[in-house]
Structure 1
Amino acid sequence: MTIEKPDILPFDARFAQYDEACGPGLAVLVIQDGTTVFKRGYGLSNLETKERIDCDTNFRMASVSKQFTAMAVAILEEQGKISGDHYIGNYLVDLPEYMSKIKVCHLVHHLSGLPDYGDAFFSSNKNKPLISNDDVYAYYKSQTKLDFEIGERYEYSNGGYSLLALIVESASGQSFKDFSKDRIFDPAGMKNTAIITYPSTIRNQAISYGAWPFFENIDYNTGNALQGEDGVYTSLTDMEAWIHAIDNNILVSPATTERIFSKVKTNNGEDVQYGYGWGFDQIGGMEVRVHTGGWVGFNTVIVNAHEVNTWFVAFSNTEAISSEDASIEMAKYYLDLDINN
């Protein structure tokens, strides 16, 4: 028996309130079996200019940027310019001794033991300058020890992915921004995706805001120019192209794609729930590949329910709206899952 779907989808009706509120909002995308079945924006991308969020609005990806960084590493591995088993000192000059046994793969899978650097640099004070990836590396060069033995356990490391961007530059001979454009964004057909530099040249750029009811502009942070761990701006339209490139092995071979979505193990043989810029989780008892991001009010998520060939994407430009909740609402509908969130 065929179950008729309603004319107005339940999640669409819920998200439409962001249009009515005339505040910041949300953009969502669903792809099933290679076909886009839902794509829409809600609310405003810029409260000052009243520009609306649409399918071409570019949001800061925050940590979702890491999957592009990991793809850059995978591409260079196929070219023989990087090896995951190489020590990072092969690519980074003046590496301190305490980091000498870290391999590229340890950075990719968050197994390096590198300490967090954020407290030393991050600030929303607009009088303070933006920091760079070189500043992050300089911080690590000023330290003397790791937080734990390399490979001992998984611990998410933003700094590790900032170092991966430097490694990509060293191995490719290009800036990380140019390599990403030439080898990832352009071949994938992501025409308006870019890594932000300042002053910004991002087209259709969303601004980020704080929580309801004030929606304070919180778009500035001294960490905004970091690349590798963050920095990518993209839209729903370009995410369609990204997903198509993954599904069809446009950027790397099928064998490399399989490795991107494969789990590795700690020194003790425990599974690491993180591949090449993708985490592994469960939704309604179904394993999914997923990554979330959150920075200066932006929050983003991409979910691949690979067992049923379905993708969910959600971007928000305010702390008041959860992109993760939005993705779960869509999963409930399209996958007929009973999920409490």
Structure 2
Amino acid sequence: MTILRVQSLLHRCLSASLVFLSLVACQQTKKEAPLAPPAPKEVEDDRQRVTAPASFTADRARQLGSQLDSAFSYLQKKKGFNGTVLVTKYDQVVYKGAFGYADFRSKDTLTTQTAFQLASVSKQFTAMAIMMLQEQGKLSYDDSVQQYIPSFPYKGITIRALLTHRSGLPNYTYFSDHLWPDRRVPITNEDVLRLMAVHQPGIYYQPNTHFDYSNTGYALLASIVTKASGEPFARFMQKHIFGPLQMTDTFTFSTARAEQHDGVATGHTGGRRKRTPDYLDTVLGDKGVYSTVEDLYKWDQALYTQKLVKQETLAEAFTGSRLRKKDEDYGFGWRIRQVASGDTVVYHAGLWHGYTTYLLRNPKEHSALIVLSNVPNGSLKYVKEIQHLLFPAKPVSMASSSAAERKEKERL
């Protein structure tokens, strides 16, 4: 079957309004029924609020949940999707489900409380730590890296350049392969700093001349959090972000935690062979956060409050930084672009050592799409079709259509 035919089948599956595919999920699948909108809850006074349109009724929410269940069941059966999902519209959880195994060898089934390595979705948490310290007056975005790491050998690089991927620094995951003496020994953020100070691997670009996605930049930001706060990065994250938000199943990687498998999904290859952590897993900031779809929903909801930072501070994280405007931009730990509905969304994806992850937020309507997988087999490339279901293009009115036709005739 060609790719185009698969995409066509998936599109038909997603666009069904009242009927969803009667696919039979594999026996190992553990899913939860589509959810009706919950009763309104008491929220703090500083919370940003959104009013659902009259058309978004309880029946419509259930219908959307059924469509999503049908779509992800299709992806599991036809494309091998293995993971967990949580979807919201207007602050309401309309669907959550778990498909497949946390570990194919032990046949442990996934639940929506299973934790996954978030890979680069971790970057938004690192950026939040920096924003919190900026609000506290412990750093400034335009401070140079040397103010916190005096041995850092590259001049002219600011915290802002690290946040927005404009530092031009070489990728530590590449130069460590050549410079780290024994890959059986875990490498830490401090080790990466020492390698850079001693060997000074060549930069890719001069600072602030190019957007160049940089894992090194976010590893450095984690070190700056440690220096500016006086607390180890992992402790800062737990004490100031995960704990206050009651993200009870969220934590950062450590060698001790890697030996505990209860409630944690094992990373696999696309062929479902088990992946094991290696020496690079102990570097934090660019990756290394583990979480669940349930906890990421708490995170999403907290971003509509001022529990962590003021809304004015958070707004800069969702503001583009690229000098040449393109279809996609980047803020502080978030990618930014428009979807078919015309709304601007913020999102990030991740891929690391057997995990692939995706978190998208539509702040205008308080909607989110959270997908975590421990089998990177390409099934998440169809997430764009799910977005079309959640944020469909607005129909063109007759008046605007006629105007467009007149302009086209005039041009001809």
TM-score, length-scaled by structure 2 = 0.73
Which residue is 2:186 aligned to?
Answer: 130
Q: How far apart are residue 11 of structure 1 and its match?
A: 3.7
- Name the amino acid aligned to 1:9: S
Taking the aligned partners of 1:159 and 1:198, their CA distance within structure 2 comes to: 21
Change (3 A) 1:289 1:18: closer
Secondary structure of the corresponding residue to residue 307 of structure 1: coil
Change (3 A) 1:122 1:16: farther
Which residue is 1:336 aligned to?
Answer: 392
Taking the aligned partners of 1:219 and 1:167, their CA distance within structure 2 comes to: 29
Secondary structure of the corresponding residue to residue 138 of structure 1: helix
**Residues paired across the two proteins, number:** 328
Cα deviation 1:86-139 (Å, max 9, x = unaligned): 11111013121xx1211111111111111123223359xx97222211222123
Alignment of 1:113-124 (within 5 A): 113-121=168-176
Q: How far apart are residue 287 of structure 1 and its match?
A: 2.8
Secondary structure of the corresponding residue to residue 243 of structure 2: helix
Taking the aligned partners of 2:252 and 2:190, their CA distance within structure 1 comes to: 16
TM-score, length-scaled by structure 1 = 0.88
Change (3 A) 1:337 1:25: farther
Taking the aligned partners of 1:90 and 1:9, their CA distance within structure 2 comes to: 53
Secondary structure of the corresponding residue to residue 135 of structure 1: helix
Q: How far apart are residue 295 of structure 1 and its match?
A: 0.5
Unaligned runs of 5+ in 2: 1-54, 395-412
Which residue is 1:140 aligned to?
Answer: 196
Please, which of 238, 242, 266 is the counterpart of residue 207 of structure 1? Answer: 266
- Name the amino acid aligned to 1:147: Y
Change (3 A) 1:7 1:24: closer
Secondary structure of the corresponding residue to residue 93 of structure 2: strand
Larger mean CA deviation between 67-76 and 257-266 belongs to 257-266
Change (3 A) 1:19 1:281: closer
Cα deviation 1:32-78 (Å, max 9, x = unaligned): 11121111111001112221111100000000000000000000000
- Name the amino acid aligned to 2:222: A
Taking the aligned partners of 1:335 and 1:243, their CA distance within structure 2 comes to: 18
Change (3 A) 1:273 1:17: closer
1:295 equivalent in alignment to 2:295? no
Rg (Cα) greater in structure: 2
Q: How far apart are residue 325 of structure 1 and its match?
A: 2.4
- Name the amino acid aligned to 2:90: D
- Name the amino acid aligned to 1:195: T
Taking the aligned partners of 1:38 and 1:8, their CA distance within structure 2 comes to: 5
Which residue is 2:307 aligned to?
Answer: 250
Change (3 A) 1:140 1:202: farther
Which residue is 2:210 aligned to?
Answer: 153
Taking the aligned partners of 2:334 and 2:65, their CA distance within structure 1 comes to: 32
Which residue is 2:292 aligned to?
Answer: 235
Change (3 A) 1:324 1:221: farther
Please, which of 127, 146, 160 is the counterpart of residue 105 of structure 1? Answer: 160
Taking the aligned partners of 2:246 and 2:140, their CA distance within structure 1 comes to: 27
Higher relative contact order (CA 8 A, sep 6+): 1
Taking the aligned partners of 2:317 and 2:122, their CA distance within structure 1 comes to: 15
- Name the amino acid aligned to 1:137: L
Identical columns (%): 29
Q: How far apart are residue 159 of structure 1 and its match?
A: 0.5
Q: How far apart are residue 244 of structure 1 and its match?
A: 1.0
Q: How far apart are residue 17 of structure 1 and its match?
A: 5.8
Cα deviation 1:155-187 (Å, max 9, x = unaligned): 000001101100000000000000001111111
> Is the 1:210–1:320 Cα contact (8 Å) retained in structure 2?
yes
> Is the 1:62–1:298 Cα contact (8 Å) retained in structure 2?
yes
> Is the 2:339–2:391 Cα contact (8 Å) retained in structure 1?
no
> Is the 2:175–2:201 Cα contact (8 Å) retained in structure 1?
no
Secondary structure of the corresponding residue to residue 128 of structure 1: coil
Which residue is 1:279 aligned to?
Answer: 335
- Name the amino acid aligned to 2:329: Q
